[in-house]
Amino acid sequence: MATEKSKILVIGGTGYIGKYIVEGSAKSGHQTFALVREASLSDPVKGKIVQNFKNIGVTILNGDLSDKESFVKAIQHVDVVISTVGFSQIRNQINIISAIKESGKHIKRFLPSEFGNDVDRTVAIGAVKSEFEMKAEIRRAIEAEGLPYTYVINNCFDGYFLATLGQCETRLTSPPRDKVTIYGDGNAKAILNKEEDIATYTMRAVDDPRTLNKTLYINPPKNIVSQNDIVALWESKIGKTLEKTFVSEEELLKKIPESSHPLDLLLALNHAIFVKGDQTLFTVEPSFGVEASQLYPDVNYTSVDEYLSQFV
């Protein structure tokens, strides 16, 4: 007999990765709730996202992390809480932890806002280091309270890093066809995943006992590539060699503190990922983590090669 799927509450569902998580939850058959601030309903962009949620059967609950009463009510409906809140709300997740603790033991899993590099195994600097430290604080608070958890590490979003050939600071929506900036020597290995695949793996994990109190790493083998690999693959697809400008680590370290926000954060991300190899510096050990494509080999994930093909 199939196990009944958990009811899921997503907080931060109108954000970048949040909307994929909400849609993935609903489409995979989970009864799905999204906690949405009143202000989001009147926002022209977020309002459309919320309407789409309603169209696919998501229940919209009004409230936010600063309104503890609304949040405590919201979690009464569900078994699993997933947070996808952005940088400014990371520390406010302490209110989620408190509310889950107060609600008793019916919450089977909490997935805090991670969805990036492993913040316990990083060499990041600057603004990125500060953000990662806040996420690590939330991890320690979850563990101190004894809450059941899964930390999802998807490394890079394709939409930010692959569509830009690793130049996330450019905010390009399709790869350049003339020139590209390479960070360091371009050989450090990174891990890039399509947003819909991240949601798929996350949904597979929420009811899986193998991911309980573990870190889920989304490291599919075809998506572990260097910036040089990405550029070469793109060049082969368009039949053209791009003009390359190499930025040394020394130059990048000088530029980061001189840049205004959020450019400083984006450049610091490039430094961590494409110069230092932050996402591939360690081995995933069974004592703390599991790898998604090994746990769920039936998931037909989108490779780096396949993702780039859509732009040709």
Q: Does 135 participate in catalysis according to the annotation?
A: yes
Q: Most distant CA pair in the chain: distance in Å?
A: 60
**Going by DSSP bridges, is the β-strand pair 224-226/189-193 parallel, antiparallel, or unpaired?**
antiparallel
Residue 191 token pair:
């891990």
For 176, phi then psi, to 5°, come to -70, 155
Radius of gyration of the chain (CA): 20
**Going by DSSP bridges, is the β-strand pair 80-83/8-11 parallel, antiparallel, or unpaired?**
parallel
Helix (H) or strand (E) holding 193: strand 189-193
Total Cβ atoms within 10 A of residue 235: 16
For 99, phi then psi, to 5°, come to -65, -40
Q: Return all residues near 33 (Cβ < 8 A) that are at least 6 apart.
A: 7, 8, 9, 10, 58, 59, 60, 61, 74, 77, 78
Q: Return all residues near 234 (Cβ < 8 A) that are at least 6 apart.
A: 165, 175, 242, 308
From first CA to last CA, the distance across the chain in angstroms is: 46
CB 206 within 8 A of CB 80: yes
Total Cβ atoms within 10 A of residue 136: 14
Among candidate residues 135, 194, 214, 276, the one labeled active-site is 135
Helix (H) or strand (E) holding 157: strand 156-157
CA dihedral sign of residues 83, 276, 133, 138: positive
Residue 58 token pair:
């998501």
**Which sequence positions are flagged as catalytic?**
135
